[in-house]
Amino acid sequence: MLRLLAGVCLFFAVCGPSCTAAPAQTPSVTALDARALGASASGAFGPVALSEQEARIQLGRRLFYDADLSGDGSMACASCHEQRHAFADGMATHAGITDEAGVRNVPSLGNVGAFKTLTWLDQHITTLEQQVATPVFGHGPVEMGMPGWATLLHRVSGEACYQKLFAAAFKKDNGRIDARTVPQALAAFERILISRNSLWDQAQKKQALLPGPAQHGAILFFGPAQCAACHSGFLLSDQSFHKINTDHPARIRTPSLRNVGVTAPYLHDGSAPTLRAALQAHSHSPALSAQDEQALEAFLQTLTDPDFLHNPAFALPPETCPI
């Protein structure tokens, strides 16, 4: 049985009472997404003729929101990675299906396709395809608690819509549903989760002005406060591993700061409830006055991209099969 998280209580568990019904229309891929995929913006996207790549994305999106990927059918990727939080959540850590406490804070998936290594600490997970097994089958901690591929593939293969989508998405493989194609589809969806239209992006293109305090914050960030020594480039992350204080023995991958205004609490263990606390956890930073901290916070808030948080193409898909 397909358990898209649209079922009454599951839907609210995932989306919270603030979201309205699932979007009724078939999602469209924006020109921006199409460019990101290297496809032409006028390509054959749409419900009638899904390109193979678009079918893969629609399939990945459906899998991402499907609680059937968890042992007891109660938890989807989207249970922890919520669009309104830039695909993070609002909690320090998130327990899996057995209620075993989570260990790390749920990171945003905005622009996740641009990261060379995945997760806060691990330097060995280098592709989105490879990462899928961790939440689905992992034991440290148990997240989705799937016993193994056989159960997962049996469930997915039993769905007529999945059969059609796999056939359209993996033509050379004759629509095979296996331990390679399932992660490939999820990764295809994750790679279109691109966020690059924040107020700060608009200001850089001279399409908007940052408010005064945020402008001051940006000057500090890229200048005397030395934040950009680590939080650099498009992601505002150098993708390297650093220690920001002596309390934690391990080096942590510099997180992207895009959409950081909606991803509290912060740090790899969720120990900083506010942006202020996250800034103050950087014990090697140059001394900052309360006013400087306020300006930096104002700047960080301009990194929120409302288009990303509300793009219907990334939301819970309609229950009806897209093909």
Candidate list 102, 145, 318, 322; residue touching ligand HEC; CB under 6 A: 102
User: Which of 39, 114, 252, 321 forms a contact with ligand HEC (CB under 6 A)?
Assistant: 252
Distance CA 111, CA 64 (A): 16
Measure Cα distances from 137 to 61, 82, 120 in Å. Answer: 19, 20, 19
- The whole-angstrom separation of Cα 216 and Cα 213 is 5
Rounded CA separation 234/245 (Å): 25
The distance from CA 206 to its chain's CA centroid, rounded to whole angstroms, is 28
Is residue 194 part of the contact set for ligand HEC (CB under 6 A)? no
317 touching ligand HEC, by CB under 6 A: no
Q: Quick one: which of 27, 71, 145, 255 contacts ligand HEC (CB under 6 A)?
A: 255
How much of the chain is in helix, strand and coil states, percent to nearest 5?
40, 5, 55
* 262 touching ligand HEC, by CB under 6 A: no
The backbone torsions φ and ψ at residue 148, rounded to the nearest 5 degrees and listed phi first, read: 180, 175
185 is a site residue for ligand HEC (CB under 6 A): no
For ligand HEC, the binding residues in 30-89 under the rule CB under 6 A are 69, 75, 77, 79-81
Give the binding range for ligand HEC (CB under 6 A) out of 33-41, 100-108, 145-153, 167-175: 100-108
Would you count residue 244 as binding ligand HEC (CB under 6 A)?
Answer: yes
Indicate which single residue of 104, 164, 196, 276 sits in contact with ligand HEC (rule: CB under 6 A): 104
Give me the DSSP letters along 62-77. HHHTBGGGSTTS---H
Degrees (nearest 5) of the Cα angle 9, 195, 119? Answer: 75
The answer to whether 96 contacts ligand HEC (rule: CB under 6 A) is yes
How many chain residues interact with ligand HEC (CB under 6 A)? 54
Stated as kind and residue range, the H or E segment containing 241 is strand 241-242
At 22, list the tokens. Answer: 């699932």
Q: Does 215 bind ligand HEC (CB under 6 A)?
A: no
Q: Which residues are near ligand HEC by CB under 6 A? A: 69, 75, 77, 79-81, 94, 96, 102, 104, 106-107, 109, 112, 115, 118-121, 128, 131-132, 135-136, 143-144, 186, 190, 221, 225-227, 229-231, 242, 244, 248, 252, 254-255, 257, 260, 263, 266-268, 275, 278-279, 282, 285, 296, 300
